[in-house]
C-alpha cells in the first residue's frame, strides 16, 4: 500500500505509459482516436486504492474527456485568421462528438464531414468554385492537444493521477 501521494503517483506511471503507447490513429476520414485501456493494470491499482472499480474509472474518464473536448472546441485558443478563435461555427462539429467505451478502449469520434479538415488542416475550394483560389485551413488538433494536455484544458495523464490520488486520500 502506498504511503504517500507521491508513491501513488509513481504507481500510476505504468498506466500512463501504457495509455500513451496504445494510442492509434485511423486515416483518412474524420479524426478517430482509440486509447487502449489496460484493465488488468487498472484492477491492480484498484486493489491498491480500494475505492473505484476499473469500470468506474473508465466511466469517469469518458465523462471528463467528453466535457473537456467540448470545452476545447469552444475555447478561444486556436490560431485562425491572425488571431485566437474557437472552433465553433454552426455547432455541428460539437454536436457530432462521441466519446464511448468499446471493450478495453475509449473511442473518440466526430461524424461532421469536415471534422478531419478542421483537425488536421488542409486546402479547400471555397464554395466548390473552381474559379477561385484554394484556401488553406490551418490545423486545429483539439483532440490530440487536449489528450496531451497542451491546450491547458486537460492533461489525460494528470487526470488519471488526480482520480487515483483522490481515491487514495479517502483511505488515509
Helix then strand then coil, in percent of the chain rounded to 5, is 50, 20, 35
Using a 10 angstrom Cβ sphere, with 0-12 exposed, 13-18 middle and 19 or more buried, the burial of residue 123 is exposed
17-71 pLDDT, tens digit per residue, is 555 545 555 555 565 666 667 777 777 766 666 666 777 777 877 888 888 899 9
Q: What is the pLDDT averaged over residues 161-170? A: 62
Contact of 37 with 108, CB cutoff 8 Å: no
94-127 pLDDT, tens digit per residue, is 999 999 888 878 889 999 999 999 999 999 998 8
pLDDT at 79 over 80: yes
Confidence of residue 151 (pLDDT cuts 50, 70, 90): low
Owning domain of residue 134:
5-169
| Angle between helices 5-21 and 156-169 in degrees, nearest 10 | 150
Domain count, the chain: 1
User: Strand 97-102 relative to strand 32-36: parallel, antiparallel, unpaired?
Assistant: unpaired
Q: Which of 12-21, 30-39, 71-80, 159-168 has the lowest mean pLDDT?
A: 12-21
* pTM greater than 0.75 (yes/no): no
130-141 pLDDT, tens digit per residue, is 899 999 999 999
The predicted structure's pLDDT at residue 5: 42
- Ordered strands of the 32-36 beta sheet: 23-25, 32-36, 105-110, 97-102
Cell of 106: 475509449
Q: Phi and psi (nearest 5°) for 18?
A: -65, -40
Residue 146 or residue 161, greater confidence: 146
Q: Quick count: other Cβ atoms within 10 Å of Cβ 59?
A: 14
Instruction: Using only the alpha carbons of the chain, give its radius of gyration.
Output: 19
Amino acid at each position: 500500500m502506498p504511503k504517500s501521494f507521491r508513491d501513488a503517483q509513481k504507481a500510476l506511471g505504468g498506466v500512463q505509459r501504457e495509455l500513451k503507447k496504445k494510442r492509434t490513429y485511423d486515416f483518412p476520414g474524420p479524426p478517430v482516436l482509440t486509447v487502449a485501456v489496460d484493465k488488468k493494470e487498472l484492477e491492480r491499482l484498484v486493489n491498491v486504492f480500494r475505492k473505484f472499480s476499473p469500470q468506474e474509472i473508465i466511466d469517469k474518464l469518458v465523462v471528463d474527456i467528453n466535457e473537456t473536448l467540448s470545452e476545447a472546441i469552444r475555447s478561444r485558443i486556436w490560431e485562425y485568421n491572425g488571431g485566437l478563435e474557437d472552433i465553433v461555427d454552426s455547432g455541428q462539429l460539437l454536436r457530432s462528438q462521441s466519446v464511448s467505451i468499446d471493450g478495453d478502449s475509449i473511442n473518440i469520434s466526430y461524424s461532421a464531414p469536415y471534422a478531419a479538415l478542421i483537425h488536421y488542416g488542409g486546402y479547400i475550394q471555397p464554395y466548390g468554385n473552381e474559379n477561385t483560389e484554394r484556401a488553406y485551413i490551418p490545423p486545429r488538433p483539439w483532440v490530440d492537444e487536449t489528450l496531451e494536455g497542451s491546450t491547458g484544458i486537460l492533461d489525460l495523464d494528470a487526470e488519471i493521477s488526480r482520480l487515483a490520488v483522490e481515491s487514495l486520500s479517502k483511505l488515509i
